[in-house]
Amino acid sequence: MRRTAIIILLLGLLCGLAAQSRPRGSGGKITLPEAVETSALADSVIVQRESEILEDFGIRDSSRLAEVARVLKVEDIPRWKAYLKLEAANSKLNERSLRQLGITPYTAFLASQSARYGYSELSTLQEVATVLNFPIKKLKAMLGHDLDPNSKAMDHRSLESLDISPEEIEAKEKEFKEHQLDYGLALTLIGMLVVFSALLVTSIVISQLVHTNKAEKKAPAEIRITASGKLLKVPKDMNRDVIAAAITALHIYETTIRERRKLQLTFNRDAVNTWRNSAAFNMPNSEFTRRRR
């Protein structure tokens, strides 16, 4: 009996925890997950577009593939089939209905847009700009529709959600290509102006860095000594050993100069004629050897 009560109690606790873990709305009802709500919203959009395609083109699930291509004015049918993930060379598929091929009218319509423009109404602005090699800021500025060229909030929204048709994109692309040379030239000039202005400012700043943190010039250390060897002026921060070494070097230099002067006087002395100094002006044999005239 006690075991039965414990088991019943545990089952009650588990049921209570399971009930608390379920998300409930304001009215106490269980709310759908966000993914289910999103898929339901997408399904509603698809149903609406299916009805619009039926009204505009008269395309149904029972329509044949060749008939759909003719109504949608598809020029490149093999490419259109490739977007529909069908065998492009298989001509037998042309006589089959969309239902038999597992294709909805909206899917056929999107594939026709992709085959013609390279993108569809479900493509985002970023994808369209990439496919067309179109600067996205310029694209948003030309489209209008309250699109801020400097904001990325709308870049990942589809054309259908922004109420922009591929035909409008195609018209803006043609307008952009007509003025593409002028736009590229203006962009190049602006880029060069910005770069050279930055280089000029940088060179001016670098040239002025010489005047910053400039070290103070120190006066050269001077030692003044009289002729008698007495010190007249000595820097305060100079070591006494340095002063003694300077005086010794000066003394040795002066002594060396004196010795060199003595040697110069000795070697620059005038030549002396020994015979003239001894008063021996004539040789004795000169009397005998002298020729008479």
Q: Which uninterrupted H or E stretch holds 106?
A: helix 105-117
- Residue 66 class from Cβ within 10 Å (0-12 exposed, 13-18 middle, 19+ buried)? middle
Q: How would you label 26-47 residue by residue, b for 16+ Cβ within 10 Å and e otherwise?
A: eeeeeeeeeeeeeeeeeeeeee
- The two structure tokens encoding residue 266: 């000795």
Query: Rounded CA gap, 68 and 153, in Å?
Result: 36
Contact assessment for residue 41 and residue 48, using Cβ atoms and an 8 Å cutoff: no
What number of other Cβ atoms are within 10 A of residue 64's Cβ?
16
- The two structure tokens encoding residue 17: 């925890």
Question: Can you list the pairs that 49-54 forms with residues at least 24 positions away whose Cβ atoms lie under 8 Å?
Answer: 49/106, 49/109, 50/104, 50/105, 50/106, 53/105, 53/106, 53/109, 54/105
Residue ranges covered by each domain of the chain: 40-117, 124-205, 224-266
What is the C-alpha end-to-end distance of the chain, expressed in Å? 185
Helix (H, G, I), strand (E, B) or coil at 251: helix
- CA 238 → CA 246, 248, 258, distances in Å? 11, 16, 30
* Helical H segments across 22-74, by residue range: 34-57, 65-71
Rounded to two decimals, the pTM is 0.51
pLDDT at 266: 57
Q: What is the pLDDT along the chain (293 residues), one digit of tens a residue?
A: 555 555 555 555 555 544 444 433 333 333 333 333 333 445 677 778 888 888 888 888 899 999 999 999 998 999 999 999 898 888 888 899 999 999 989 899 999 999 999 999 889 999 999 998 888 888 898 888 888 888 888 889 888 888 898 999 999 888 888 887 877 788 889 999 999 999 999 999 888 887 776 666 776 667 676 666 666 676 666 677 777 787 788 778 888 887 777 766 555 555 666 655 565 555 555 555 555 55
pLDDT at 13: 54
DSSP 25: -
Q: Which of 41, 169, 44 is nearest to 106 (CA)?
A: 44
